Amino acid sequence: MRIRSGVSLVAGAVLLIGAQAGAAVADEGEEVTVVASGLNSPRGLAFGPDGGLYVATVGDGSDDGAVVRLDLRTGAATEVVAGLPTYVAPAGDVVGAHDVTFQGRGNMFVPVGLGDDPAARPADTDLGVLLRVAPNGRTRTVADLAAYEAEVNPDGGLPDSNPHSAAAVPGGVVIADAGANALLFLASSGELSTLATFDDREVPFAGGTVLAQSVPDAVTVGPDGAYYVGELLGFPFAPGESRVYRVTPDGSAEVYAEGFTSIIDLAFDSDGNLYVLEIAEAGLLNAFTTGDFEGALIKVTPDGVRSEVADGQLVAPGGITVGRDGALYVTTATLFGGGLGTVVRIDQ
């Protein structure tokens, strides 16, 4: 259940965007353009109802998580939410604001990770929760996912909560809790429930097999209204073993596609193509051992044909969204602080 190596409003906090933008031509005529840089561990991203591109950033680990708004027309970048909590999980990774999703004309939801037993959560901090940011900028906790894990523990394993991805839907918000190995649903009434859990399974390792946790860390809504869930897979992060699940609103789950490695995010385009983002194409164990954090973006057509997009162009990617014009937007250097993170645009 644990991923193993494994709030205030501010105005005018400007990051680097546009001025350092550059383009590189990838395979098959794809153009990859840096549209924002200087981000600290950027994760999930989404377009808001105002047309801005909002990016969740974990920060460097000193309660400096944020949500950054990028205006792709003017080149402005502004922290619209700052001071979000961060936490160094037992695995050594820094967790915090992992994703952003919108509902209606401006309600923004941000899952904040924990990556630990809820009992270890520091007091008086918004870790392991889902935050709502209203259009007027007010931020409040709408769901305590770590407390739910401590009380309900949907998969029955060791208590662990790490909300990592969220998708706002009519009537509520769907949350992938990577620590709990569960897909949760927060109804507009405030009721929190379990939609599905994802079992541990045997994966190949060192000439034999070991039991690996699912670690569902990505959720998006498909064109059919179902929820599609991507799994990272826990140690040993076996290459080719990560799956995408299709979960219906009533909680029925099935494998939709398999054969991926270390999935970190998912997105659909208007033609029904699914984009599967892998944080490390050769697997996270290899990445942590060798330093090879080259990621991969796999396009899966509705009839199952696969192709790689922007091959060799993505380093430790962390999130993907699709613009109205069909361009893909991906965060990179998701595990690296120090302002190394970027957002790139991919035109196919």
Of 246, 249, 232, 329, the residue nearest 35 (C-alpha) = 329
pTM value is: 0.92
Tens of each residue's pLDDT in the chain, 348 residues:
333 322 222 222 333 333 333 343 344 568 999 999 999 999 999 999 999 999 999 999 999 999 999 999 988 999 999 999 999 998 888 999 999 999 988 799 999 999 999 999 999 899 999 999 988 878 999 999 999 999 999 999 999 999 999 999 999 999 999 999 999 999 999 999 999 999 999 999 999 999 999 999 999 999 999 999 999 999 999 999 999 999 999 999 999 999 999 999 999 999 999 999 999 999 999 999 999 999 999 999 999 999 999 999 999 999 999 999 899 999 999 999 999 999 999 998
Q: How far apart are the first and last CA of the chain?
A: 36
Torsion of CA 22, 26, 31, 34, to 10 degrees: -30
Distance of CA 181 to the CA centre of its chain: 15
Q: What radius of gyration do the chain's Cα atoms show?
A: 18
Neighbours of 308 (CB within 10 A): 15
Give the distance between the most distant pair of CA atoms in the chain: 56
Domain boundaries, the chain: 37-271+322-328
DSSP per residue over 226-295, as a string? -EEEEE---TT--TT-EEEEEE-TT--EEEEEEEESSEEEEEE-TTS-EEEEES-TT-HHHHHHH---B-
Judge residue 305's burial from the number of C-beta atoms within 10 Å of its C-beta, 0-12 exposed, 13-18 middle, 19 or more buried: exposed
Asked if residue 236 has a cis previous peptide bond (ω within 30° of 0), the answer is yes
* Other beta carbons within 10 Å of 200: 17
φ, ψ of residue 125 to 5 degrees: the values are -140, 145
Q: How far is the C-alpha of 98 from the C-alpha of 112, rounded, in Å? A: 6
Q: Are 55 and 36 in contact (CB under 8 A)?
A: yes
The class level of CATH for 37-271+322-328 reads mainly beta
Residue 85 has a pLDDT of 95
Measured distance CA(109)–CA(130) in Å, rounded: 7
111: phi then psi, degrees, rounded to nearest 5: -80, 130
Per-residue tokens: 148: 């739910």
Which amino acid is present at 54? Y
- Least Cα distance to 247 among 185, 306, 300, 201 occurs for 185
Find out whether 165 and 113 touch, Cβ atoms under 8 Å.
Answer: no
